[in-house]
């Protein structure tokens, strides 16, 4: 699914790491988990979009704009990619 918008709370966030695809392309990724208060799902922030999360910490409410959802081994993941945006929402 593509072009999705969410307002969620960050429940977990790991540090930035490098991953290499099977074709040898290296990417920067920030991973974590978000919740809407009832359900939690993992999220991944790709490459330069990780900078959007520099001032965001666990417990912050964020609006994720134009994201896409993927499924890997039956597990859903929200992805913040090249055309996505993220901003902290004031409580």
- Provide the residue-wise pLDDT of the chain in tens; the chain has 91 residues: 899 999 999 999 998 999 999 999 999 999 999 999 999 999 999 999 999 998 899 999 999 999 999 998 899 999 999 999 999 998 6
Read off the tokens for 43: 């999220």
Q: What is the CATH number of domain 4-89?
A: 2.40.50.140
pLDDT at 8: 97
Rounded Cα distance between 65 and 67, Å, is: 6
Q: Which residues, including other chains, have CB under 8 Å from residue 29's CB and lie 6 or more apart?
A: 16, 17, 18, 19, 44, 45, 46, 47, 50
Contact yes or no for 67/48 (Cβ under 8 A): no
pLDDT at 91: 66
Contact yes or no for 6/68 (Cβ under 8 A): no
Write down the pTM of the prediction: 0.86
């Amino acid at each position: 699914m593509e072009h999705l918008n969410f307002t969620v709370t960050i429940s977990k966030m790991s540090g930035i790491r490098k991953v290499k695809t099977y074709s040898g392309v290296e990417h920067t990724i920030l991973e974590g988990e978000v919740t809407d208060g009832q359900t939690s799902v993992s999220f991944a922030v790709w490459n330069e979009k990780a900078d959007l999360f520099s001032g965001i910490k666990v417990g912050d409410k964020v609006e994720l704009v134009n994201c896409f959802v993927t499924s890997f081994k039956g597990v859903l993941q929200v992805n913040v990619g090249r055309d996505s945006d993220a901003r902290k929402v004031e409580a």
